[in-house]
A and B are shown apart, each in its own frame.
Chain A
Amino acid sequence: MMFLREHAPFSSMDDAHLAHFAEHASLRFYADNDIVLSPEEGPVQRFYVVKQGRIRGERHNEKDGKTDTTFEITQGECFPLAALVGERPTRTLHRAAGDTFCLSIEHDAFVTLLSESDPFRDFCLRGVSSLLDQVNRRIQSGAMASIGSSTSLDTPLERYALRNPIVCSPDLPVRKAVARMHENNVGSIVITDDERHPVGIFTLRDLRTMVAEEKGSLDTPVGQVMTKRPICLTSHADAFEAAMLMAEYHFAHLCVVDEEHRLIGVVSERDLFSLQRVDLVNLARTIGTATHLRTLVSLRSEVSRLVDAMLAHGADSGQVVKIITTLNDVTVRRVLELNIKKNDPGVPFTWLTFGSEGRQEQTLLTDQDNGILFETPDGMTEDQAREKLLPFAETVNRELAECGFTLCKGNIMASNPKLCLSGREWDDWFIRFIDASTPQNLVYSSIFLDMRAVFGPNEPLEELYGKVLARIQKNALFQKMLAGNAMNRRPPLTMFRNFRYAPDGKKHTIDLKRQGLAPFVETVRVFALANGVEEANTLERMDRLVAKGAFDPKDANAWKEAYSLIQAIRMRAHQEMLDRGEPLSNYIDPDDLNPLDRRILRESFRQAQRLQQKLEVTYQL
């Protein structure tokens, strides 16, 4: 029964219930292609667990008369759940794929277990989705142990104790406003108009600045010294959104409002993280106001500590990569600001990032991929403007490297004259890029077609990207070549659904980035560009593709989940490498994972195969 112990739901069942299962179980063998269960057999009589081998679900497709494989059940997995619980025949033909042994119990024994064992019942009634839940829970609980808190960042804001917020009108003198805060022992007061709409916020920090910088007397109406237009969220927003907004704007408080924008309460950074020593907002603020490069460099280790804590607090991998991206953005911006202060090149520009940073999918292991889109000032040629910008960009690239953003080996950096261009030059550049789709250009597509503005005005980029998208949408040949290129990255599964190991890494390892995530990223990019989706982030691209009707919502959900799980396993591996003081790498040995994670990884790769099949069909590759 050691075998059962390794798999859900048996891993969490009592010994007595496990023994009940074992005593009533029988073992059957099915050779390759033997039918295990079929819709013609009537209501399902047995509950099965795959002991060895695989079961394939087949459904006849009415449209084209072909047979589709709808699912695969591998070692340790149970079937058929829905049909057995619903006491009906299965709708899918279950067929053995390869030599397969199944343990099974009869309906009566199944019912007994269902009524007596809670974990077993939960598992059967929730079906496969609980498997994914378990992985997420495990990822969280591992890091959670050190912190000891169960607060999740998915918690809606309305659940945080929203005290009756302390409010006042704009004409109240600061002295009285502070007195009111003092009486209620709070650090902030919201200034509202007659309809209770928040118009500003005044915090103890504002008071400190006001006194220190002698901005006015304590009799000044609070409306003159408050922070206007405070950030607001509705009560349905979750703690994660609140934390991200706080980090972005460096505020420690935000207002919670109802649908009519009337104030309901105030959430402070401390409310969100009172039990948790996560100081995302503080960290972002410290980075954003650092006055020296060496301060920024020293803050980078804090980012890694924060990621660990964030994983602990139940942030999913999508949330964590966004946090890393946010903090990276703040760092890049600050390096640029400090350099402009020291040595303004005098040419207005937008700082572009490409590749994973452009997609907002950075993890701790990150390269610099950046460029400059400038506006040529009157009376200057493009070359003259470039001459002013290049030395500036070089300093910025070097300083970013000191902050931990590795210099790009392919010289895809703003200090490269070929990537420091005016809007017109960039447009020409992309025309050549798309028309002359050389193999080298196709390799670069993963970098340059995922871009974003980090600093400077956004409009020049929007204008440029709009033209690029329109051109790609019209160019079917380029799309097809992109699709062909995306097919070069195959998910690491063999024909027999075993892991295919990376050819270049250590023995028995999988490259989670190039073999695991890249098939999703590359394939989704082709669909996104072909459908005029402007977002660069892979998950957001999939959402937009669903909205545009290009992806089936259920498929897209499965793909998003699979992508996020691979990302989560990768990030956990990174944290563990950091803990051991090893250099970060994307290679992992699947044997190091627990059986549940291994299964999840395999299923996630299978989803990548399905996504690629869609690409193959769409472009007839």
Chain B
Amino acid sequence: MLERIRLWVKQRRAGALGSHDPAHLSTPKLAGDQKLSECRLIVLDLETTGFHPGKDHVIAIGAVAITGKVIHLDDQFDLILRRPELDISETVLIHGIGPEALTQGHETEDALLHLLEWMDGDPILAYHSAFDQRFLEKALRQSLGYSQNHTWIDVAELLPAIFPDAKTGGRGLDNWADFFNLEVSERHHAAADALVTAELTLIALNKAQKNGACTLSELSTKLHYYRRLQRMHRF
């Protein structure tokens, strides 16, 4: 018993979530020769107080890891940040996190450090990733002074690039989830949205490999061409 308390005190001193040392964090990996059938990818979804990175803040982070085209359910990340001073009336309706849930969250710095450590510098996928990227990078800079850039891949771009003929009736996450008959347990809950995004990613990776894209760089080349084609259509 005494031993347990001592251990607990030690942990508290070192910080609530174990010892995070910013200096020992991995450097973000680039989209190189990592094989899709082996590499680890992070699929992430954020809940925020609103839509403007300038004035709004992150309140919840949900993420799952895909390793070698498999989602390991024990390799997940689901945190609500402690931001009691924030006014969240605007988007509380969308994601359903009320002020009480927020105050029970982890301290922001702890949570973000923990996230960086867990991500281990692996490439990050998100649906409409530009949005998540701006919020996360801003939060990391403000809270931790962290400014390294991760490799980001937009699943909203990946899906139409790999399934150009899919008639989804729209470009939203719900449209694609419906198209593949996926069940979303709790929409607008960061962890649940991250899981659906990850499931869509598995479907896309399976098809991409059959089309001959076996490494991350081949995948990003494919996306690059897709982007150029889209731009040409616009003209």
Taking a contact as CB atoms under 8 Å apart, the answer to whether A22 and B73 are in contact is yes
Chain B, residues 62-80, CB within 8 Å of chain A (1/0): the string is: 0000000111111000000
Cβ of A543 within 8 Å of any chain B Cβ, yes or no, is: no
Nearest CB in chain B to that of A51: its residue: B183
> Which of B70, B181, B185, B210 is the one whose CB lies under 8 Å from A99?
B181
**Neighbouring A residues of B70 by C-beta, 8 Å:** 26-28
Taking a contact as CB atoms under 8 Å apart, the answer to whether B181 and A27 are in contact is no
Given contacts A3-B183, A52-B181, A99-B180, contact A31 B72 (CB under 8 A): no
A40 CB, nearest partner CB in chain B, Å:
19
Chain B, residues 199-218, CB within 8 Å of chain A (1/0): the string is: 10011001100100000000
Max chain B Cβ within 10 angstroms of own Cβ: one of A25, A28, A29, A103: A29
A545 CB, nearest partner CB in chain B, Å:
40
Chain A, residues 84-104, CB within 8 Å of chain B (1/0): the string is: 000000000000000101010
A3 to B206, CA, bound (A): 24
Cβ of B17 within 8 Å of any chain A Cβ, yes or no, is: no
**Neighbouring B residues of A30 by C-beta, 8 Å:** 206
Nearest CB in chain B to that of A99: its residue: B180
**Neighbouring B residues of A24 by C-beta, 8 Å:** 73-74
Nearest CB in chain B to that of A75: its residue: B183
Given contacts A2-B185, A52-B182, A52-B183, contact A99 B74 (CB under 8 A): no
A193 to B211, CA, bound (A): 88
A3 to B210, CA, bound (A): 30
A101 to B70, CA, bound (A): 10
Nearest CB in chain A to that of B180: its residue: A99
Nearest CB in chain B to that of A2: its residue: B185
**Neighbouring A residues of B181 by C-beta, 8 Å:** 52, 99
Cβ of A337 within 8 Å of any chain B Cβ, yes or no, is: no
Residues 1-60 (chain A) with a chain B CB within 8 angstroms? 2-3, 22-31, 34, 52
> Which of B185, B199, B207 is the one whose CB lies under 8 Å from A27?
B199
Chain A, residues 45-82, CB within 8 Å of chain B (1/0): the string is: 00000001000000000000000000000000000000
Residues 111-170 (chain A) with a chain B CB within 8 angstroms? none
B143 CB, nearest partner CB in chain A, Å:
30
> Which of B74, B199, B206 is the one whose CB lies under 8 Å from A31?
B206
**Neighbouring B residues of A34 by C-beta, 8 Å:** 206
**Neighbouring B residues of A3 by C-beta, 8 Å:** 183, 185
Taking a contact as CB atoms under 8 Å apart, the answer to whether A31 and B207 are in contact is yes
Q: How many residues of A contact B (CB 8 A)?
A: 17
**Neighbouring B residues of A29 by C-beta, 8 Å:** 69, 199, 202-203, 206
Taking a contact as CB atoms under 8 Å apart, the answer to whether A31 and B185 are in contact is no
A34 to B210, CA, bound (A): 11
A312 to B214, CA, bound (A): 60
A568 to B202, CA, bound (A): 41
Taking a contact as CB atoms under 8 Å apart, the answer to whether A27 and B182 are in contact is no
A144 CB, nearest partner CB in chain B, Å:
34
A52 to B72, CA, bound (A): 17
Taking a contact as CB atoms under 8 Å apart, the answer to whether A25 and B69 are in contact is no
> Which of B69, B74, B210 is the one whose CB lies under 8 Å from A23?
B74
**Neighbouring A residues of B180 by C-beta, 8 Å:** 99
Taking a contact as CB atoms under 8 Å apart, the answer to whether A26 and B69 are in contact is no
Taking a contact as CB atoms under 8 Å apart, the answer to whether A26 and B72 are in contact is yes
Taking a contact as CB atoms under 8 Å apart, the answer to whether A28 and B73 are in contact is no
Given contacts A2-B185, A99-B181, A101-B199, contact A23 B207 (CB under 8 A): no
**Neighbouring B residues of A31 by C-beta, 8 Å:** 203, 206-207, 210
B65 CB, nearest partner CB in chain A, Å:
10
A101 to B177, CA, bound (A): 13
Residues 546-563 (chain A) with a chain B CB within 8 angstroms? none
Taking a contact as CB atoms under 8 Å apart, the answer to whether B185 and A28 are in contact is no
Nearest CB in chain B to that of A53: its residue: B181
**Neighbouring B residues of A26 by C-beta, 8 Å:** 70-73
A29 to B198, CA, bound (A): 10
A587 to B114, CA, bound (A): 56
Nearest CB in chain A to that of B185: its residue: A2
**Neighbouring B residues of A101 by C-beta, 8 Å:** 199, 202
Nearest CB in chain B to that of A21: its residue: B73
B224 CB, nearest partner CB in chain A, Å:
24
Nearest CB in chain A to that of B204: its residue: A29
Nearest CB in chain A to that of B209: its residue: A31
Residues 170-227 (chain B) with a chain A CB within 8 angstroms? 180-183, 185, 198-199, 202-203, 206-207, 210
**Neighbouring A residues of B185 by C-beta, 8 Å:** 2-3
Nearest CB in chain A to that of B74: its residue: A23
A103 to B198, CA, bound (A): 14
**Neighbouring B residues of A22 by C-beta, 8 Å:** 73
Nearest CB in chain B to that of A29: its residue: B202
Nearest CB in chain A to that of B181: its residue: A52
**Neighbouring A residues of B182 by C-beta, 8 Å:** 52
**Neighbouring B residues of A2 by C-beta, 8 Å:** 185
A414 to B210, CA, bound (A): 69
A27 to B67, CA, bound (A): 10
Residues 42-83 (chain B) with a chain A CB within 8 angstroms? 69-74
B38 CB, nearest partner CB in chain A, Å:
15
Taking a contact as CB atoms under 8 Å apart, the answer to whether A27 and B73 are in contact is yes
Taking a contact as CB atoms under 8 Å apart, the answer to whether B203 and A23 are in contact is no
A59 to B156, CA, bound (A): 40
A26 to B71, CA, bound (A): 5
Nearest CB in chain A to that of B179: its residue: A99
Taking a contact as CB atoms under 8 Å apart, the answer to whether A23 and B73 are in contact is yes
A28 to B73, CA, bound (A): 11
A52 to B196, CA, bound (A): 13
A31 to B206, CA, bound (A): 7
**Neighbouring A residues of B203 by C-beta, 8 Å:** 29, 31, 99
Taking a contact as CB atoms under 8 Å apart, the answer to whether A28 and B69 are in contact is yes
B40 CB, nearest partner CB in chain A, Å:
13
A3 to B183, CA, bound (A): 10
B168 CB, nearest partner CB in chain A, Å:
14
A100 CB, nearest partner CB in chain B, Å:
10
Max chain A Cβ within 10 angstroms of own Cβ: one of B183, B198, B207: B183
**Neighbouring B residues of A103 by C-beta, 8 Å:** 73
Taking a contact as CB atoms under 8 Å apart, the answer to whether B206 and A25 are in contact is no
Nearest CB in chain B to that of A103: its residue: B73
Q: What are 16 A-to-B residue pairs whose CB atoms are below 8 Å?
A: A2-B185, A22-B73, A23-B73, A24-B74, A25-B73, A26-B70, A26-B71, A27-B71, A27-B199, A28-B69, A28-B70, A29-B203, A31-B210, A34-B206, A99-B203, A103-B73
* Closest 8 A/B residue pairs (Cβ): A29-B202, A27-B71, A26-B72, A25-B73, A26-B70, A31-B206, A23-B74, A28-B70
Residues of B within 8 A of A (CB): 69-74, 180-183, 185, 198-199, 202-203, 206-207, 210
Other contacts beyond A23-B74, A99-B180: 13, CB < 8 A: A3-B185, A23-B73, A24-B74, A26-B72, A26-B73, A27-B70, A27-B199, A29-B199, A31-B203, A31-B207, A52-B182, A52-B183, A99-B181
